[in-house]
Amino acid sequence: MTMSVPERKSGSEGKEEESEDESEIVEESPCGRWQKRKEQVSQGNVPGVESASLAMDTEEGVEVVWNEVLFSDKKVFKAQEETIKEMFENLMQVEHPNIVKFHRYWLDMQESQARVIFITEYMSSGSLKQFLKKTKKNHKTMNVKAWKRWCTQILSALSYLHSCEPPIIHGNLTCDTIFIQHNGLIKIGSVWHRLFVNVFPDASLHGKERQHRDEQRNLHFFAPEYGAGEDDYAMDIFSFGICALEMAVLEIQANGDTAVSKEAILNAGQSLEDPLMREFTQSCLRHERKLRPTAHDLLFHRVLFEVHSLKLLAAHCLINNQYLLPENCVEEKTKSFDPSAVMAEIKHEDRPGVQLKYSHVSPLELDKFLEDVKNGIYPLMNFASSRPHPVPRALSLSHEQVETVKTPTPEPQETESRKVVQMHCNLESNEEGTKTHLSLFLKMDDKLHRQLSCDILPTDTSKDLASELVHHAFITEEDSEKVAGFLEDAISRHRVRALASGSTQ
């Protein structure tokens, strides 16, 4: 494949023209939401993907990646079409704060060829490999706290993938396919790598050559059993162990060779001063796959407990229940505390006790910690059970609705499938009794909860009010009946109590 490079003009004029040329829109998605640009991007090697271009999500106003898989032989595409659809439908269900988001896909049938186009999240801050190189170049060492946070986030994503039913094996976890955001959030990319290898075995020659070069350079990330049998979680754990080791030492020296030797990996592991870090990485790199721990087990390793479990659990409870708390409640609470007051004390019979005062806790540090928890930097996977959990609801269309297009068509509406797991209703009347304010909170199974509110007049019937609120809640028909009945009952009981107390409502 050859690429022509346009002649650059000097000064700001040349830069401006080049920027305008790269941002030019060359194609739109059938629904008009995504606009492909000329600028090419690299988000980790993916088998079969001919090109990855920068694109704009016009609904969210953010940049995304427009990926294309090209089939020059339409017969090959037709033979694999159902498998391709099933694979992409499964990928659309993957939802985790530490995994690169897979937004949407569609099929484009042309006379000479067929294309699969899919949209993924754009990681603008670059890969972990790039970050480690910059850190080493500046003669800096890895911060141990950052290492712990990164390991926890990667393991949180792996634990999620491995506990899906059926399990999802990454199969290509390297420092090139792990991305770091400006706020320290880690995200795993190329989750679809092994699926693509199986579905797109006839990738282009160019793609195979590039993949071969990358695999040679990253050969040390792959487990000894790689390619010898069925994939399982142990393969990802070995790759994670190498990533954890590279994060700690910044780079495993290759001694001039294209591939990193086993001796270099051993020397890098021995160079770690912390015995817990050594034991942690060595457990992942055991030659016998059965002896390697699971991602869930590794989340309980002593070396990763940077934040006390109780503090982490309390922070997640606070974030998950913010709708119940007034705005800026943390800031207001910390202001009202007496700095010299003791909030906790450990007493000892044979020696002086240990006191923890409010002055020992910085409100700024607390705000920063809560913000990091909200952004997914401190996942709560340590408390999760090891049993498999179902994959969250699909954010995609059904098989029958998959877009197979030649010309632009409107995007079909998504059917609501989430379930209401808990309902809470609060009614408060004003002093005159002429108006009542109703707040309805619906706790959903995917944790994207709903909160609705409205004012009720004495002339409004409970049935009409319930129907109106349910209409705006956008929930399933089954849940609509339950919520409507719940609201009618709550409004009726409130009015009976109000009458009993002498109110006009």
Is 24 in a helix, a strand, or coil? coil
SS (H, E, C) 176-210: CCEEECCCCCEEECCCCHHHHHHHCCCCCHHHHHH
Determine the pLDDT at residue 401: 39
267's tokens: 């020397």
Q: How high is the pLDDT of residue 316?
A: 83
Token digits for 342?
Answer: 């003791």
Q: How many CB atoms lie within 10 A of CB 44?
A: 22
Handedness of CA 214, 218, 221, 224 (dihedral sign): positive
Q: Do residues 483 and 423 make contact, with C-beta atoms less than 8 angstroms apart?
A: yes
The span from the CA of 175 to the CA of 221, in Å, is 9
Sequence-distant (6+) residues with CB within 8 A of 308 are: none
| Three-state helix/strand/coil letters over 406-463 | CCCCCCCCCCCCCCEEEEEEEEEECCCCCCEEEEEEEEECCCCCEEEEEEECCCCCHH
Task: Answer yes or no: are the C-beta atoms of 443 and 466 closer than 8 Å.
Answer: no
Number of residues that this document lists for the chain: 505
3-state secondary structure of 436: strand
Quick one: which of 119, 48, 100 has its CA closest to 77? 48
Instruction: Walk along the chain (505 residues) and give the pLDDT tens digit of each residue.
Output: 333 333 434 444 554 554 556 678 889 999 999 999 988 887 555 555 677 899 999 998 999 999 888 887 788 888 888 888 888 888 888 889 899 998 999 998 887 788 889 999 998 888 899 999 888 888 778 889 889 989 999 999 999 999 888 788 888 899 989 998 877 889 998 887 776 776 665 544 334 444 544 556 788 898 888 877 777 899 999 999 999 999 999 988 776 656 788 888 998 999 999 999 999 999 999 999 999 999 988 988 888 876 777 777 888 888 888 777 777 777 777 777 788 888 788 888 888 888 888 777 777 777 778 887 887 777 775 454 444 444 433 333 333 333 444 434 444 444 567 788 888 788 887 777 777 878 787 877 766 666 777 778 877 777 777 777 777 667 788 888 888 888 888 888 888 777 777 644 4
Alpha carbon 5 to its chain centroid, in Å, reads 36
If we measure between CA atoms, which residue out of 348, 342, 380, 374 comes closest to residue 361? 342
| Single-letter amino acid code for the residue at 307 | V
Strand partners, 118: 67, 105
CA distance 29 to 186: 29
The residue type at 335: K
Cis-peptide into 97, omega within 30 deg:
no
Question: With 0-12 CB in 10 A as exposed, 13-18 as middle and 19+ as buried, what is 345?
Answer: exposed
Question: Which three-class secondary structure state does DSSP give residue 408?
Answer: coil
Instruction: Report the pLDDT value the prediction gives residue 153, as an integer from 0 to 100.
Output: 92
SS3 at position 295: helix
Tokens of 504: 């006009």
Contact 455, 475 (CB under 8 A): no
Helix, strand or coil, per DSSP, at residue 389: coil
Is residue 243 within 8 Å of 142, Cβ to Cβ? no
Give the whole-angstrom CA distance, residue 214 versus residue 129: 13
Say what the pTM is.
Answer: 0.63
Cα Rg of the chain (Å, integer): 27
